[in-house]
Amino acid sequence: MSFTLSINGTPRVVDLPDDVPLLWALRDGLGLTGTKFGCGVAACGACTVLIDGQAVRSCQVPLSGAVGEITTIEGLGQPGALAPLQEAWVRHQVAQCGYCQSGQIMQAAALLAQVPEPTDQDIDDAMQGNLCRCGTYPRIRAAILDAAQMMKAG
């Protein structure tokens, strides 16, 4: 079946069975590979994207239900034009293998959009669905707090 999705501000057409999750439509159908597959059962957060500003696990959203404005890591910022959150990620040298980081960053983006000055508790609550096997959590926390400061200062 053919679906038209709104991704990073652009309508994109994908032709796949309607029960295929958004994750695989992005990765296999559209070649948007920044969004990662980790578990397929909503247990790791690697596949996190924003739909209308809400962080969702794209492995759990069937194509037929993917309505709204979808933002993936590719839409947040690019290598030459980093979003403030990504700048903080680079400043704090967060990534190790980096595989979980797209999901971590999208989850953090949703957090900061809702809670511009998060406490440690807010960060714990928002981020605990995002697994990092490399154990980058201390630097993720530091980067989120730093980004919040930078965004506040404008």
Partner 1 sequence: MASWKTITRRSFLVLGAAFLGGAAFGVYKVAEVPANPLVPGPDGMPLNPWVIINADGITVIAPRAEMGQGISTTLAALVAEELDVDWDQVRVLHGPPAQAYYNAGFVARMSNEPDFRLSQQPRSHNAILAAVPKIFSMQLTGGSTGAIGGFVQMRLAGAGAREALKAAAARRLGVAPDTLRTESGKVIGAQTFTYAELAAEAADLVPEDVALRDPSTWRYVGKSMPRLDMVAKSTGTETFGIDIVLPGMKFATVRMNPRRGGAMTSFDPAAALALPGVEQVVGLGNGIAVIASNTWTAIQAAQLVDVQWGEADYPADTAAMLTRIEAAFATEPDSRLRDEGDVEAELAKGDVIEAEYRIPFLAHASMEPLNATAWVKADGSVEVWCGNQAPIMTRDAIAGALRIGSDRVTLHTPVMGGGFGGRTDPVPAVLAARVAAAMPDTPVKLTYSREEDMGQDFYRPAAIARLSGRVENGKATALWGRTAAPSATRSALTRLIGFAPPGPDRATVEGGFDQPYGLPHYRYDGHVADLTVPLGFWRSVGNSMNAFFLESFIDELAHAAKADPLAFRLELMRDTHAPSARLLETVREMSGWDGLKRPGFGRGVAFCYSFGTPVAQVVEVEQTPGGIRMTRAWIACDPGLAMDPSIVEAQMTGGMVFGLSAAVQEEITFADQAVVQQNFPDHDALRMHATPRFEVRVLQNNGSFGHIGGVGEPGTPPAAPALANALFDLTGTRARELPLNKTFAFVT
Interface ranges with partner 1 (CB under 8 A) = 16-17, 20-21, 23-25, 27-29, 31, 33-41, 43-44, 46, 72-74, 76-79, 82, 86, 89-90, 93-102, 105, 123-125, 127-141
Determine the residue type at 115.
V
Number of residues that bind ligand FES (CB under 6 A): 23
Minimum distance, C-beta of residue 72 to ligand FES, in the bound complex (Å): 13
40 lies in the binding site for ligand FES (CB under 6 A): yes
Residue 90 touches ligand FES, criterion: CB under 6 A = no
Cα 61–Cα 65–Cα 67 angle in degrees, nearest 5? 110
Please write down the long-range contacts of 133-140, taking CB distance under 8 Å and 24 or more positions apart.
133/97, 133/100, 134/96, 134/97, 134/100, 135/96, 136/94, 136/95, 136/96, 136/100, 136/101, 136/104, 139/92, 139/93, 139/94, 140/94, 140/104, 140/108
- According to CB under 6 A, which residues from 58 to 77 bind ligand FES? 59
Q: Which of 57, 92, 139, 141 touches ligand FES by CB under 6 A?
A: 57
**Residues in touch with ligand FES (CB under 6 A):** 37-40, 42-47, 57, 59, 95-101, 132-134, 136
